[in-house]
Amino acid sequence: MAGAQAQVMSAAQMSLWTRTRGLRRSEVEKALWHDRTLAKVWCMRGTVHLVPSNDYTVFVRGCAGRADRDARWMIRRGRSIEMIERLLKHIGGILDRPLTRTEVAARLGESFRTKRVRSGRGWGKEGEVDAFEVGGHPVSVGGLLSYACVRGIACAGPPEGNEGTFVRPDVWFPRWRDLSVRDAEDALLRVYLRAHGPATPTDFAWWTYVTATAARAIWDRNAEDLAPLDADGRITWVLREDLPILKRARLKGPIVRLLPFFDSFLLGQKDHGHLVEATHYKRVYRPQGWLSPVLLIDGRVAGVWSHASKGPRLSLTIEPFRRLGSGLRDLVERDAHDLGRFLEAGEIRVTFASAP
């Protein structure tokens, strides 16, 4: 997989669970904050992902085009990019250990004056935040830190109570290695095609949120390593070296998986017709960017599901799009019980809603 989307951390943990036999939730936390083999970073589409820390620069530098778009957006809205760069330089200087947003604001406030402003904080929330005046406009400390993360100047550090922290990646990751933007972009294309191919340059641009021009330039640089395929009458590409494996591949089905909110499997291509039928599309790809948890059977969405915890009990409700035979229901229940093990539930209850 090419990163686990981690806007909701529990969903990212479950994305790793569904792909890793026997995984425990505590092992994800250990990999993030103790062993530091996983990294929580801002990369594709400017959103939070969990990625292997060894590949930090592949994901962050490889999406540098997104940072360029952010910079142009700020310039168009009157922010001084020179002032932003001065602030980022100071952030890089102080993040030699994990600091909370409050601590960053205090440290920066020693050199740059801050003020309190009301601002939207995402997910419909609003509140007062610390901000700097840049070109006569406020820039929140949180927004500045997010931009620093997209730029590769900062990444997420371990939580401190109810607050997250930020730290400089070169001092945080034990096997830090840097890459040029060009090398990172080329490596990211390979990661992408391994996870989501066959695909097109348009898909790659949509997945990364770099411009179509930038995506095409990366694609063209690597053209010799790509092989075209006919996917339902549409020309798409995979890595040429993967063709022998793909030709030998067979599904020993049925293969059943419960994928959580925002699972990356559903985010690889711009068009999702190969994953879900048009009649069920809006039950999966919901307004405001929400993606439902889905029941996957042999690589296609066969339903949605939800879960709720009450004490030691975990209750799952499966809403299939069509009637499931007893064999498939048994496989769904087996996956549901393993999810209960992962979430350390003492009792698991699975309910199947009637198919329409």
- Prediction pTM value: 0.89
What's the sign of the alpha-carbon dihedral 209, 212, 218, 222? positive
Q: Is the pLDDT of residue 122 over 50?
A: no
When the pLDDT of each residue in the chain is averaged and rounded to a whole number, the result is 89
Residues 258-315: tens digit of each pLDDT: 999 999 999 999 999 999 999 999 999 998 888 999 999 999 999 999 999 998 999 9
Residues 90-114: tens digit of each pLDDT: 889 999 999 998 898 888 877 676 5
DSSP 285: B
Q: Rounded mean pLDDT of 5-17? A: 95
Domain boundaries, the chain: 36-172, 181-248, 256-352
Name the token pair of 166: 């930020």
Domain formed by 256-352, architecture: 3-Layer(aba) Sandwich (3.40)
Q: Is the pLDDT of residue 73 over 90?
A: no
Selected residue with higher pLDDT from 248 and 82: 248
Largest CA distance in the chain: 67
Band of pLDDT at residue 53, cut at 50, 70 and 90: very high
pLDDT for res 140: 78
Weakest-pLDDT range from 125-134, 168-177, 232-241: 125-134
CA 10 to each of CA 15, 61, 107, 129, 131: distance values in angstroms, whole numbers, following the listed order: 9, 26, 31, 26, 30
Q: Is the pLDDT of residue 352 over 90?
A: yes
Please state, in angstroms and rounded to a whole number, the distance separating the CA atoms of residues 356 and 162.
43
Please state, in angstroms and rounded to a whole number, the distance separating the CA atoms of residues 356 and 339.
26
Residues 124-166: tens digit of each pLDDT: 455 566 776 666 667 778 888 888 998 899 999 999 988 899 9
* Beta carbons within 10 angstroms of residue 82's beta carbon: 9
% helix / strand / coil in the chain, to the nearest 5?
45, 25, 30
181-248 and 256-352 agree in CATH topology: no
Pairing of strands 38-42, 300-310: unpaired
* Closest alpha carbon to 153 in 135, 132, 140, 172: 172
DSSP 205: H
Specify the CATH number for 181-248; select among 3.40.50.1100, 2.40.40.20, 1.10.3430.10, 1.10.10.10.
1.10.10.10
